[in-house]
Structure 1
Amino acid sequence: MTNTTKTAKSQFTKPSSQKSVDTSTLIDAITEGLLEKKAKDIVLLDVRELTTLADYFIVCHGTSDTQIRALANSVEKQVKDELGENVWQQEGKDSRRWVILDYVNVVVHIFTEEKRNYYGIERMWNDAKITHIEDETT
């Protein structure tokens, strides 16, 4: 198993290919957590060339407050179980309208559909390379 905390702390001394593998593993764990709880319209935005905030944003939405909380909890559990990592910062879990899970290199945005349309993160970062994540088991 890869320990992404070590990667985040030493990211300036590791070769780029090593960081990509670790980030890729983190993205896989996050998307598995989202797919497990049936997140809607999962999108991966590659913002490495556009900002220093993060390397990737993962954006999705849920159909209810209960599902949004379940999605956030599922991501946290999946990342913890697979990689031994905790979320670095989180916001919005109580209101469940827009939950942000910050894993330093990857930031997860879980919205209600209404809030997602209103804030339009995909439109705001329209120069990013966009990858749609689909459940391959269905």
Structure 2
Amino acid sequence: MSEPNPSTTAETEWALVAARAADDKLGVDTVVIDVGPVLAITDHFVITSGRNARQVRAIVDEIEAQLTAQGGPKPLRIEGRDSMEWVLMDFGEFVVHVFDDERREYYELERLWGDRPRVDFHVA
């Protein structure tokens, strides 16, 4: 489990905690995208995927567990938990998208937001 980094804003740091939690459960190609300047409803998208429904569930559960353990925000809403094909976790300041491989390839959110900067979340 990773600790928040005090050198970033709280909103950014909680998104990074979510990204690292996804990475801890072997989320595939996890990215954090800064959408704040062009999207009024949130500041960051965290996008990741799992190879199957079981892994998608493990990623979603780990994100919730790590944020809760560190006193982070609770999701305002979670969509897609029934199917585990595309789970959207809305934390207000950031939104986490956890896809299965097929949905991620189909929707291509990274391409849609390709002109927005990425935020490095890897621990040095």
1:62 aligned residue (18, 37, 50): 50
Q: Which has the larger radius of gyration?
A: 1
1:98 aligned residue (86, 92, 102): 86
For the pair 1:108 / 2:107, whether they are aligned, the reply is no
Q: What's 1:41 paired with?
A: 29
Q: What's 2:9 paired with?
A: 21
| TM-score between both structures, scaled by the size of structure 1 | 0.78
SS state at 1:74 partner: helix
Paired letter, 2:114:
N
Question: How far apart are the structure 2 equivalents of 1:22 and 1:135?
Answer: 17
1:127 aligned residue (103, 115, 118): 115
Q: What's 2:64 paired with?
A: 76
- Which structure dedicates a bigger proportion of its chain to helix? 1
Q: Which runs of 5+ in 2 are unaligned?
A: 1-7
SS state at 2:15 partner: helix
Residues paired across the two proteins, number? 118
Q: CA RMSD in A?
A: 1.9
Q: What's 1:9 paired with?
A: none
